[in-house]
Amino acid sequence: MALAIGIWSLKLTPGKVETFQPPADLKITNVALGDALKDASGRTTVKLTFEPSGGFHGEDEDEEIPKPVTTVLCSLKPDTLEQTTIDLILQEDETYKFELVGKNTVYLTGNYIEQAVNNPPFDDDDDSDLGSEEDAYDLREVSSDVEMHPDDLDGLESDASRFEEVEEAPKGLKRAREADEEPEKPSKAEKKKKQKTETVQATDVTPEGKKKKEKEASKEKETPKDKEQASKSKATEKEIAGGIKILDAKIGSGPLAKKGNTVRVRYIGKLTSGKIFDKNVKGKPFTFQLGKGEVIKGWDEGVVGMQVGGERKLTIPPAMGYGSQAVENIPKNSTLIFEVKLLEIK
């Protein structure tokens, strides 16, 4: 979660380009017309020019440096729209240029922020285990203070429990002398028992009996675990806004997560190398408000649409993560991979 550490403002004057380089990360939250208007009916547009993030931080020296990009933040008009709220983060030591198209003065307001405070992946519960192997964690094994359905625990069983061990009778152990001996004649009691068994077997080989047996056998074989495995095999990765890739390993059965909801999750964060840089697999679940900028953009977009009880893999490109900023165990321009389990929506 970003922490505001100081207020900031900037006055934009018509006809003058304001070049600004933030001494720390900065979030602009409001754009408003000044109290004195030179043009009471005209529109004033705020334009921003910046260098694309990550384009000039590559290791390849021959890589072409991208050109600055100019975009429009907003347009204000007296008596129609005199102020608006935005959510724009300017990175420390980067250069930005603001200019106005119009005759009225405009004020920008916001806060200096600290982005590395409680942002996932940064939970202090288990910092000592960051070097653990990725195979040491499984979201289906984590604890939770939210009640879980017994079917959710099926994945904890060993795969060996799904197979029966069949012992085959040794071949070729029958002695030739025994094979040549004539079988003994069955007694009357044995004849009656054999006749009764054959009657039952004859009943079972009718078409109705066969269908009943096949139906019962298919029911016994089909377990919740098999259903879960079948759904996982059909899961396909898809790409959403911002280049984020999502893969639903398990579809939940609870409510759907929407922007504005407060959600509680478990997660494991990895680099593309497989190294785990952060996790929340036990203790107090990580809680945040979806779509409000409390977490990286990849989470705000990637968790939307999950259902309670579901598990999703998020592959987040640098632009939707921490970009060119190196944060603790995460190098700059890193693609991040998260395995997320949605526990509850408040």
Three-state secondary-structure class, residue 194: helix
- Judging by beta carbons within 10 Å of its beta carbon (0-12, 13-18, 19+), is residue 274 exposed, middle or buried? exposed
CB 320 within 8 A of CB 343: no
**Active site residue ranges:** 267, 277-278, 296, 322, 338
31 three-state secondary structure: strand
d(CA 94, CA 49): 11
Residue 276, token pair as written in the block: 């785990």
Angle at 276 between CA 275 and CA 277, to 5 degrees: 110
Report the C-alpha gap between 297 and 321 in whole angstroms: 6
List 90's β-bridge partners, or say none.
26
Total residue count of the chain as it appears in this document: 346
User: Exposure pattern of 218-247 as b/e (b: 16+ CB <10 Å)?
Assistant: eeeeeeeeeebeeeeeebeeeeeeeebbbe
